[in-house]
Amino acid sequence: MRIDLSPELRITPSSQRQKLSTTLWIREGDWVPGQPLLRRVYVPVTQGTLELTSVQYPATAGRTPGAMAGTISFEAAGITVRYNPDGTVTASPIGTETVMVYAEFTMPLYHELMADGTPITLTTGPNAGTYGSQAEASYVSGGVTLDVHAVLGTTESAPVSETRIWIPGPGVGTFAVGAAPTSAIGTGDGRSPKWWVGDTTGGTTPWARHFAATTDIMNFQRIGEEMNALSNGGTITITEFVAPGAETYGRLVGELSVDLAYWKGGAFTGERTTFRMPLTIPITPLNGPPLY
């Protein structure tokens, strides 16, 4: 059994006791292909309380952590969440009474930079719309990879997406986007714990690979049919580029508009979309992100 407390928390130097919204997830067993996945979730019925007993802030936005300790408590109602093999999600109550949840914690505190809330737009296709995203960038093999995470909707069964963009030799200017290698999709069965099966990076031309599927949000496992799309055109414009240092973040500013063609069963389906996104993205230090 695994228990995860998931607080939504922003800490300011003057705060020692805060109100917060949180949930308690209890995992019992792992997901088996073709079978439903069950989770017990305890949701607060009144606002919970977070009390910090000690806080040591990290000195800089880099890889050296601080630390914090404290307690979390809230009154909660329990529900059982059922992730069905067809990608739908259902829920049912656990009993008729609430419970009190209390936890003590001691954990590292990192000053990490990421682009949170950046809008992405898919103009056509099965998931057309504008959504908030979380983006991060890494400098590897002489280029930058952007990894953009988003939830494509507001329901429990809305697909989660991961878009990877490869930018070789980044610098100020406008660059044409080419065809993504089909190896970026890989040969997995669509049930890998990783967001993408093919972890390809490289080449002399910018490209993008888009993936979306309903997922188990606790274990980052795909539990519904996956959708893949590969770039075959578009542009990336960079107006500012600052390379990262060994322990410090870099910066990438600009915008991108990438044409994507959907891929299924080893061939293109004929369905297309355009992925658009403004860029103000920190680039992870060369020695790795803070949590590593």
Among the listed residues 218, 205, 214, 212, the one whose alpha carbon sits nearest the alpha carbon of residue 258:
205
First vs last C-alpha separation in the chain: 25
Among the listed residues 165, 126, 131, 125, the one whose alpha carbon sits nearest the alpha carbon of residue 148:
165
Q: DSSP letters along 142-199, please?
A: TEEEEEEEEE-SSSTTPPEEEEEEEEES--SEEEE--BPPGGGT-S--S--SSS-S--
What is the model's pLDDT at position 187?
Answer: 47
Tell me the per-residue pLDDT of 206-242, one tens digit each, with 9 for 90 and over: 999 998 877 655 555 566 677 889 999 999 999 999 9
Q: Is the pLDDT of residue 16 over 60?
A: no
* Helix/strand/coil for 111: coil
Q: Is the pLDDT of residue 128 over 70?
A: yes
Among the listed residues 61, 126, 124, 74, the one whose alpha carbon sits nearest the alpha carbon of residue 100:
74
14 Cβ contact partners less than 8 Å away, ≥ 6 residues apart: none
* Helix/strand/coil for 43: strand
| CA–CA separation, 284 and 266 (whole Å) | 34
What is the model's pLDDT at position 155?
Answer: 72
What is the model's pLDDT at position 156?
Answer: 66
Mean pLDDT of all residues in 85-97: 82
Task: Name the pTM for this structure.
Answer: 0.68
| CA–CA separation, 287 and 247 (whole Å) | 6
Domain ranges of the chain: 2-109, 115-283
Q: How many CB atoms are closer than 10 A to CB 258? A: 26
Q: Which residue has the higher pLDDT, 112 or 217?
A: 112
What is the model's pLDDT at position 278?
Answer: 95
What is the model's pLDDT at position 190?
Answer: 40
What is the model's pLDDT at position 4?
Answer: 45
